[in-house]
């Protein structure tokens, strides 16, 4: 409640991307002062085993929040069992022109067309190496990799392979992102004939680390099943479902305002139904040992518990953190342990 008041009084006065940077500053402050770790006092968390790894619980931070691995330990201290950084591309890139991040307060949603803005695989690998050597307590670190904007689609394989080679030694798992709507042509790589060589190249460079593929909620059911079949064929560690959507139906915000925001991926509770449907479809088409990380529309511990009951091994969130604040993971974990 206090955070909601603070959000309305302070963060809502800034554009969404500036508010995000302020939020990152706050997270780092909480980590530096030890307040982040103190926020977890009294929370009983069990361990979760998935991807051959041990997690301090099932709930983690989805890719897109910490693009450059700048607040990994702090997010872990706030209660996230794993942090998926990125999306990281081979080449550093500024992303799309601003403004590119918008809040839909009535829907508790976000529209973003950030465009994989990040420091690039080399710089982020160096940052992760320093973090690994720092001695800080760290959550499980996933590294989400994508195609550079300047790389032609026909050269996508080498682009993903480069990032995988640089980042695999420093990651606990790798996530192949072919589902963001904000890089031209990227979603075409979800087609099986395009996806298979990318995944094979990443597996070859993974040093045996778990490799997952992240898919869009806008895939038709038969395409979801086709991805599941490919995942089985290649013996992937699992599938992350789902990314943001390009759909705009069912929103409370006036259509004129949403239209004025323009293109981009929509996240928030509006995604929940489709995310759950894709989870069920994947679970019925994947063997039990293959993990599903469910993401999309998760705000409460009850919703996390529901995803787990439907066969997800791990659950991720992002948009809820924007609206619920730095104690969000604590609330989720407390609810799960109740």
pLDDT over threshold 60, residue 224: yes
Residue 255 lies in a domain: yes
Q: Residue 13's pLDDT band (boundaries 50, 70, 90)?
A: low
Query: pLDDT tens for residues 158-178?
Result: 999 999 999 999 999 999 999
pLDDT over threshold 70, residue 199: yes
Question: What is the DSSP secondary structure assignment for residue 313, as one 8-state letter?
Answer: S
**pLDDT score recorded for residue 58:** 98
Which three-class secondary structure state does DSSP give residue 39?
A: coil
Q: Residue 22's pLDDT band (boundaries 50, 70, 90)?
A: confident
**pLDDT score recorded for residue 315:** 98
Among residues 56, 163, 180, 275, the one annotated as catalytic is 180
Q: Report the alpha-carbon angle 147-149-153, nearest 5.
A: 60
Contacts of residue 130, defined as CB under 8 A and 6 or more positions apart, other chains included, come to none
* Distance separating alpha carbons of residues 16 and 21, to the nearest angstrom: 9
* Distance separating alpha carbons of residues 329 and 99, to the nearest angstrom: 28
Question: What is the DSSP secondary structure assignment for residue 10, as one 8-state letter?
Answer: T
pLDDT over threshold 60, residue 11: no
Q: What is the mean pLDDT of the chain?
A: 94
**pTM listed for this prediction:** 0.95
Q: What is the mean pLDDT of residues 241-247?
A: 97
pLDDT over threshold 80, residue 229: yes
Residue 15 lies in a domain: no
Residue 12 lies in a domain: no
Query: pLDDT tens for residues 252-298?
Result: 999 999 999 999 999 999 999 999 999 999 999 999 999 999 999 99
Residue 44 lies in a domain: no
Which one is predicted more confidently, 283 or 39?
283
Answer yes or no: 334 catalytic: no
Residue 6 lies in a domain: no
Residue 196's CATH number: 3.20.20.70
pLDDT over threshold 80, residue 3: no
Residue 10 lies in a domain: no
Residue 316 lies in a domain: yes
Q: How many C-alpha atoms does 24 have within 13 Å on its Cβ side?
A: 14
**pLDDT score recorded for residue 2:** 52
**pLDDT score recorded for residue 19:** 80
Question: In degrees rounded to 5, what are phi and psi of residue 223?
Answer: -75, -35
**pLDDT score recorded for residue 21:** 82
Q: Is the dihedral of CA 245, 250, 254, 256 positive or negative?
A: positive
**pLDDT score recorded for residue 87:** 98
Q: What is the mean pLDDT of residues 325-335?
A: 94
Q: Is the dihedral of CA 183, 88, 314, 319 positive or negative?
A: negative
Q: Is-contact 93 150, C-beta < 8 A?
A: yes
**Domain range for 140:** 52-337
pLDDT over threshold 80, residue 128: yes
Q: Is the dihedral of CA 229, 234, 238, 242 positive or negative?
A: negative
- Report the domain count for the chain: 1
**pLDDT score recorded for residue 9:** 54
pLDDT over threshold 60, residue 104: yes
pLDDT over threshold 70, residue 74: yes
Residue 1 lies in a domain: no
Question: In degrees rounded to 5, what are phi and psi of residue 59?
Answer: -105, 125
* Distance separating alpha carbons of residues 303 and 238, to the nearest angstrom: 21
Question: Looking up tokens 């395409």, which residue turns up?
Answer: 223
């Amino acid at each position: 409640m206090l955070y909601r008041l603070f959000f309305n009084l302070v963060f809502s006065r800034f554009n969404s991307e500036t508010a995000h940077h302020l939020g990152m500053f706050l997270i780092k402050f909480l980590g530096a002062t030890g307040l982040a770790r103190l926020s977890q006092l009294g929370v009983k968390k069990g361990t979760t085993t998935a991807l051959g790894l041990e997690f301090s619980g099932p709930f983690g931070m989805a890719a897109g929040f910490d693009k450059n691995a700048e607040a990994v330990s702090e997010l872990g201290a706030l209660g996230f069992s794993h942090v998926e950084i990125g999306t990281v591309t081979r080449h550093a890139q500024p992303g799309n022109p601003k403004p590119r991040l918008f809040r839909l307060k009535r829907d508790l949603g976000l529209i973003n067309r950030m465009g994989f803005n990040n420091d690039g695989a080399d710089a982020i690998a160096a940052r992760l190496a320093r973090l690994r050597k720092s001695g800080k307590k760290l959550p499980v670190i996933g590294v989400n990799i994508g195609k550079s904007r300047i790389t032609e689609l026909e050269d996508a394989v080498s682009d993903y392979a480069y990032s995988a080679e640089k980042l695999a030694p420093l990651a606990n798992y790798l996530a192949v992102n072919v589902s963001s709507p904000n890089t031209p042509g990227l979603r075409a790589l979800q087609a099986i004939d395009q996806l298979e060589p990318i995944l094979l190249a990443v597996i070859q460079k993974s040093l045996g680390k778990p490799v997952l593929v992240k898919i869009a909620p806008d895939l038709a059911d038969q395409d979801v099943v086709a991805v599941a079949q490919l995942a089985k064929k290649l013996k992937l560690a699992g599938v992350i479902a789902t990314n943001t959507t390009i759909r705009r139906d069912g929103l409370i915000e006036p259509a004129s305002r949403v239209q004025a925001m323009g293109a981009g991926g929509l996240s928030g509770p509006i995604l929940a139904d489709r995310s759950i449907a894709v989870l069920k479809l994947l679970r019925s088409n994947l063997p039990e040992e293959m993990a599903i990380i469910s993401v999309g529309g998760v705000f409460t511990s009850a919703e996390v518990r529901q995803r787990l009951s439907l066969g997800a091994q791990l659950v991720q969130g992002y948009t809820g953190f924007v609206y619920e604040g730095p104690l969000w993971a604590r609330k989720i974990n407390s609810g799960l342990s109740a």
